[in-house]
Each structure stands twice: as C-alpha cells, then as structure tokens.
Structure 1
Amino acid sequence: MTTAGRDPGLQPERTRLAWRRTTLSCTVVALLAVKQALHGGAGPAAIVAVSLSALAWLGFLWVAHLRVLGMGTARPRPLSARGALTAAACTVALAVFAAAMLF
C-alpha cells in the first residue's frame, strides 16, 4: 500500500532553523577571527588567516543557503555528498584557521 503524498510535518522547518543556527555560529567564528587579528596586530599571517576564514565562511554560507532553499519543497532531496563534504571542509577549515591565529 502506497500513500498518495508525504506529510513532512515540521521536519523541514526544523532543518531550516538548524541550518540557520549553524550559519550564525559560523558567522560568529569568522567575526571573532577578524577581532583576534585586529587585536593581535594585523601581521601578514593574521591577514592570510582572516582571508582564508572569510573564504571558508562564504563557502559554508553558500551550502547552507542552497540547503535552506531546497527545504522549501514538499519532498526535499537529501543533502548531496558534495554539499556535505563542502560544509564539513569549511567547518574544519574555520577551526584550523582559528587555531593558526592563536599560535
């Protein structure tokens, strides 16, 4: 027996909110990197780390935006392997660049 349609309930909305919270967290991390670079003196290494952090943040923002838009349908597709890998790589990159700025 098959059902005519899928009732996703509030699951897509919860997923959209989770992506937005995660994007907000990444934004805070990127802004703290800028603050740390300005507070610690903007040397060449700090400028490179902040620039790379900004690129990682933009990459994550792009993936999150596409995912939030994709959750607007009645049957959202699963996150692609490429999107998941990009989001994970951007998250790890932000952590690595943050650690590099501390040392």
Structure 2
Amino acid sequence: MPGPDERRDAGLQPERTRLAWRRTTLACSVTAVLALRQALRGSGSALEAGGAALIVLVWLAFLGVAHRRIRELAAYRPPVLAPRVALGAVLCTVALAVFAMTVIT
C-alpha cells in the first residue's frame, strides 16, 4: 500500500502558491516604495527617516522569507510551510503596514 506522500497528487497547487507568494511580494514592494516616496517628500523629520529605514529593513526581511518559500515550492514534493516562516511573513506584513502608516501620517 502506498504511503500518504505517494497517494497525494498536488496538481498545480504548488504553482498557484508560488504565484501567490510572488503577488504578495509585489504588493509588499509597492507599499514599501510608496511609503519611502512619501517619507522622502516629507518634512525630513527623524520620525520619517526612522520609519523609512524600518520600512526598508522589514521589506528586505519579507523578501528573504518569500524568496526562500518560492525556492522551496519549486521542489517536486515541497515541504510544508513551517510555522516560524509563516509567523515571520505575518510579522513583516503587519510591521510594514504600521511603519507605512507612521510615515504617511
């Protein structure tokens, strides 16, 4: 009798998931660029400069998480998303939104 991994036919699910990670990365990049643009056009306060720096750091962290997951999904049998990686992606997304709102207001 085949094991559970041998019976599962993932079909196009890994490809759809990889495309979703790419769309999320694109949305994150656009948000970061718009927030940085706003920070550079602002008054130049220390809060805006700090927010811009944090936006860049969070954006780079998210790119690292997303790129790692996209590479993993290219495997024949992609591994399950680790809870730590999922938490990292969520924290980066929330932090980017918070920092962007700090810069905009």
**Deviation at 1:6?**
4.1
Q: Distance in 2 between matches of 1:31 and 1:37?
A: 10
Aligned to 2:66: 64
Q: Distance in 2 between matches of 1:28 and 1:100?
A: 16
Question: Is there any run of 5+ residues in structure 1 with no aligned partner, and where?
Answer: none
Matched to 2:18, the amino acid is R
Aligned to 1:21: 23
Aligned to 1:95: 97
Q: Distance in 1 between matches of 2:57 and 2:14?
A: 28
Tell me if structure 2 keeps the 8 A contact 1:70–1:77: yes
Alignment length (residue pairs): 103
The percent identity for this pair of structures is 52
How do 1:19-58 and structure 2 match up within 5 A? Answer: 19-58=21-60
> TM-score, structure 1 length as denominator?
0.91
SS in structure 1 of the partner of residue 78 of structure 2 = coil
Post-superposition Cα deviations, 1:30-66, rounded to whole Å, max 9, x if no partner, equal 1011110122222211110010011111111001001
Q: Which moved more, 1:46-55 or 1:34-43?
A: 34-43
Question: Is there any run of 5+ residues in structure 2 with no aligned partner, and where?
Answer: none
Tell me if structure 2 keeps the 8 A contact 1:63–1:83: yes
Matched to 2:86, the amino acid is A
Q: CA RMSD in A?
A: 1.4
Tell me if structure 2 keeps the 8 A contact 1:37–1:47: yes
Aligned to 2:2: 2
